[in-house]
Amino acid sequence: MTAIFAIKNARIVGSEEHFIGNLSVADGIINELSAGASQVGEDWDGDYLIPGLVELHTDNLEKHLMPRPKVNWPILPAILAHDAQIAAAGITTVLDALGVGDIDPESVRSTMLAACVTNLQQARANGLLRVEHYLHLRLELAEENLLDMFSPFVNDPTLKLVSLMDHTPGQRQWTDLSHYRIYTTGKRGWSNEKVDAMLEDMRERQVRYADDNRRRIVESCNAIGKPMATHDDTTIAHVTAGFAEGIKICEFPTTMIAAQTARKHGLGTIMGAPNVVRGGSHSGNVSAAELARADLLDVLSSDYVPASLLHAAFLLQKEGYSLPKAINTVSRNPARMIGFEDRGEIAPGLRGDFLRVRVVDDIPVILQVWKSGQRAI
């Protein structure tokens, strides 16, 4: 029997326009969409009906796995807490960004990768997750054992994105070492003496391993058609190297010239939603708002604050984006960027992933979350 429900009097945000109208869903799929008044359905009283958000890069799971330095939390409860927070943020499709290798051998990224993937699979199989989870593996190129760590996951069907990272201080995100010291002594709890020792070690590892690891990873991903992203590109050379390797995504460029070069070569650009909400980068790099004003921003990612995603999208209206264009950066654009054609916008024939949102004091507040036509929140 076909399950149908209807909504009326909602401000529906499509990929090109928004209007007061009505929507119906049958068996998890949007089947009708119309403008104007209707006598049928649940009355949303003019609240926004927005597509479910699509998140390509969040390390939020790692915060639940290690809520304080050197405090490891049980993995399944951590995953379920992360899933609930993601759902509450209006994200209905998420790529959990898990690190492969790290500059700190004691970090959660270095010790829990396989167990995280296994527990995500079990949670999915047992129907415990509110939203749809996939993998985004973040490969630290200066990791000595990177290829051995990555190879068990390269053919995983849930792996939707691979990013090539080099967090060696002194370049890319950490060109300014003073910002790096503030970050590591604050978040990681390192002393200045440990920072100095790690700097020397990390630079040595970069020289020994990064270039060869990158070449072999690129060959492996291209051979099986796995989407790749560059990470923290700073220079023209960084972007053009990625383009020559067949990479299609420029993730968190740190300078205007890198973003401009990405656009020139047809790479999609991802920036952090916290950057928009805070009004700038915590690392002192180019602001997402500046790229938006130059029309160089394609996708927002919540990065380390899930709740920032929808808030930042609404703020893009202050940078000249229409509401549909702003919402596309957190729904349609990221979905298409990694090959999802069945979600990311409000249109007949697509999945019934959508949000009920009310704006209160200029802040978008999520009241309900629907995934495949079922309430998730």
Q: What is the pLDDT of residues 219-232, one digit of tens each?
A: 999 999 999 999 99
Tens-place pLDDT, residues 1-29: 567 899 999 999 999 999 999 999 999 99
Residue 8 in domain:
no
Among 188, 192, 162, which Cα is nearest to 178's? 192
- 219: which 2 tokens? 């060959």
What is the per-residue pLDDT for 108?
Answer: 59
d(CA 6, CA 26) in angstroms, rounded, equals: 9
The fraction of the chain above a pLDDT of 70, given in percent, is 88
d(CA 262, CA 253) in angstroms, rounded, equals: 9
Conformation bin of residue 178: beta by default, left when phi > 0, alpha when psi is -120 to 50: alpha
Residue 83 in domain:
yes
d(CA 278, CA 297) in angstroms, rounded, equals: 17
Residue 368 in domain:
no
d(CA 237, CA 230) in angstroms, rounded, equals: 12
Residue 18 in domain:
no
What is the per-residue pLDDT for 187?
Answer: 56
Q: The domain containing residue 248 runs over which residues?
A: 52-343
Q: Are strands 299-301 and 354-360 parallel, antiparallel or unpaired?
A: unpaired
Give the total residue count for the chain: 377
What is the per-residue pLDDT for 183?
Answer: 61
Domains: count for the chain: 1
Residue 170 reports pLDDT greater than 60: no
Residue 56 reports pLDDT greater than 80: yes
Tell me 341's DSSP state.
-
The CATH number linked to 164 is: 3.20.20.140
- Token pair 């930042």: residue: 312
Q: What are phi and psi of 268, to 5 degrees?
A: -75, 140
Segment 45-69 shows an average pLDDT of: 94
Q: What is the pTM of this model?
A: 0.91
* pLDDT-derived band at 205, boundaries 50, 70, 90: confident
The answer to whether the beta carbons of residues 332 and 345 sit under 8 Å apart is yes
CA distances from 98 to 138, 175, 292, 306, 326 (A): 6, 24, 27, 15, 27
Mark 255-265 as b/e (b = at least 16 C-beta within 10 Å): bebbbbbbbee
Residue 270 in domain:
yes
d(CA 320, CA 315) in angstroms, rounded, equals: 10
- 169: which 2 tokens? 């201080």
Residue 153 in domain:
yes
What is the per-residue pLDDT for 103?
Answer: 61
Residue 349 in domain:
no
The answer to whether the beta carbons of residues 330 and 364 sit under 8 Å apart is no
Residue 117 in domain:
yes
Contacts of 153 (CB under 8 A, 6+ apart): 100, 117, 135, 137, 159
User: Which of the given ranges, 38-47, 161-170, 190-199, 278-287, has the highest pLDDT on average?
Assistant: 38-47
Question: Between residues 69 and 321, which one has the greater pLDDT?
Answer: 321
